[in-house]
A and B are shown apart, each in its own frame.
Chain A
Amino acid sequence: MSFTVNALTRSLNVFHLSGSACNNCDIEILDVLTPRYDAERFGMVLVGSIRHADVLLLSGAFNRKSAIRLKRVYEDAPKPVVVIAVGSCACTGNIFTGSYNISEPVCNYIPVDAFLPGCPPKPEAMISAVVKLIQKLKGK
């Protein structure tokens, strides 16, 4: 295992970017941090800036205004950065597909490493996704 992968997977610093979401995935992401699920046990913390982040969590479909900002945020991220699309809206656009103000799915803008569908995905699903992702990064 390389030094980078070891450093990356030991404690994931997560930056959460809400696109044009309905808040639900965002609230469930916060829920993962609160006592019942408590992902901070595994060293996952939410950070305030993309420049501190190892993981970029995307939620919600992105509209014309926020899609431009998404690209900027991705460019600002220190690489390697792992991108996870949380919720059906971030994965495919969900029920908003076809709206005049919604952009293409995020994977057409930036490379996405993991898709986590669900409306909203349960906190258990989010933890499971991160565990799988860590194993994939380690090459297991």
Chain B
Amino acid sequence: MPKKTIIPIGPYHPLQEEPEFFKLHVEGEKVVGLDIEIGYNHRGIEKLSESKTFEQTVFLVERICGICSTSHPIACVQAVEDAGDIEVPERVLYIRSVIGELERIHSHLLWLGLAGHFLGFNTVWMWVWRYRESVLDMMEHITGNRNHYAMMKPGGVRRDILPEDIPGIKKTLDGLVKPLALFRDAVIDDPVIHARTKGVGILTKQQIIDYGALGPTARASGVKIDTRKDYPHAAYGLVDWKVITAENGDVFDKTVVRILEMFESIKIIEQCLDKLKTVPGPVDSNPKAIKPGDGIGHYEAPRGEVFHYIRSDGTNRPVRHKVRAPSFMNVPTDRVAVMGQSIADATIILAAVDPCYCCTERMIAIDADTRRTALRSPDLLRLSQEKTELLKRELGKEGPKLDFGVPS
């Protein structure tokens, strides 16, 4: 029997942009286990948010992640609007969708480029990122910044998309269709990409459901889940588009799903821009106060569903702000996807869910004396069980006592 070896990847590794630590357990060339250690990226955003006003909170959640930097704000302002029963003008919905979809295109192109880089196919990286620049230019033209657009605010958006800008945006989008078709054909026809990605890192439909994975990761395995269709928000219920799914759940299918989604995004943006020509109105309802209550906001970020919960007590600050990002659900699927694969394929499998650790890291617990992480997974499970018990007692319901066999 071959000896079991541990290969550390990270926390500061040339392969990854973000600090995170993977422990690959290998037997020979085969991966037999994976541990993920995170915590290098926790900034205490939920707590900071309680010290900021509702308008400032939007700028803060924008800086949760630089790649989905409009998904978090949209989910956040929707949560505030839900809590305060704020009506939003129709024009705002279309503008939010345009910004959100432009972001999806830039994020998927970014992933496609990095995937090429992880495969050792740097030509793909350079070509894809070259065309990504035109999306960033559009963003700079509309919002004033290449990333971190600062467009959203509770009750509206901060800037309008001017009628004279629309032809220019449409022209750039049309220019993007040709390179996107090139990438689609390249991925579908290229024997090298086939060899490296087909049948690699397979996630079955049942595994996706068990792990609760979201976004393109789930859709590539045939789970038709998309917040834009399931709980229509912004303008997604008002335009015509379809959810892209694939069946095999390997890295190849994840790539194809992401590429085809970009075409859908272009379709959505063009319809929204047409609507913007006719739908008049202000772009801000100027809410004066947020009444007490709580609200939730969903948004389908490029990686899956972003969820925000906000509770207001009638002051100008949230009392509680909870964020759940899609990578939190997607990253654990690495454990099953990477099992039994070779070390060389592990990098692309770990990258295939498009992990985003700055989105994921929402909690940390440190022992003040030893300065070590105080809560490990059994502790978390026990805390969760205790909370369930407490809630049941509060509601006056006696259910079966939960026990996952964790030593107390």
Contacts and interface: CB of A to CB of B under 8 A. Distances in A.
A24 B110 CA distance: 12
A114 to B, nearest CB: 21
**Chain B contact residues, majority secondary structure:** loop
Given A20-B42, A65-B39, A66-B40, A27 B18 contact: no
A99 B41 CA distance: 13
B130 A36 contact: yes
Nearest to A50: B12
B134 to A, nearest CB: 10
A95 B60 contact: yes
A24 B48 contact: no
A30 to B, nearest CB: 7
Nearest to A100: B44
Contact of B42 (A47, A63, A98, A122): A63
Contact of A23 (B18, B44, B126): B18
Interface in B139-160: 146-148
A34 B129 contact: yes
A22 B66 contact: yes
Given A27-B110, A28-B147, A120 B66 contact: yes
Given A22-B64, A24-B67, A48 B14 contact: yes
B42 A35 contact: no
Contacts of A24: 66-67, 69, 147-148
**Chain A contact residues, majority secondary structure:** mixed
A95 B63 CA distance: 8
A111 B147 CA distance: 29
B33 interface: no
A95 B133 CA distance: 27
Given A23-B358, A27-B110, A28-B147, A35 B18 contact: no
A20 B39 CA distance: 9
A43 to B, nearest CB: 18
A98 B48 contact: yes
Interface in B38-72: 39-45, 47-48, 51, 59-60, 63-67, 69
A61 B64 CA distance: 12
Interface in A14-65: 17-28, 30-31, 34-36, 46-49, 61, 63-65
Contacts of B251: none
Contact of B130 (A17, A23, A26, A35): A35
A81 interface: no
Interface of B: 11-14, 17-19, 39-45, 47-48, 51, 59-60, 63-67, 69, 110, 113, 125-127, 129-130, 133, 146-148, 356, 358, 364, 366
Given A21-B358, A28-B147, A35-B130, 13 more contacts: A21-B18, A23-B17, A23-B65, A23-B358, A26-B66, A27-B147, A34-B126, A34-B129, A46-B14, A63-B42, A96-B45, A99-B45, A101-B44
Interface of A: 17-28, 30-31, 34-36, 46-49, 61, 63-66, 69, 73, 94-96, 98-102, 119-120, 122
18 contacts: A17-B12, A20-B41, A26-B18, A28-B146, A30-B129, A31-B133, A34-B125, A35-B126, A35-B129, A48-B13, A61-B43, A66-B19, A69-B11, A69-B12, A96-B44, A98-B48, A101-B42, A119-B148
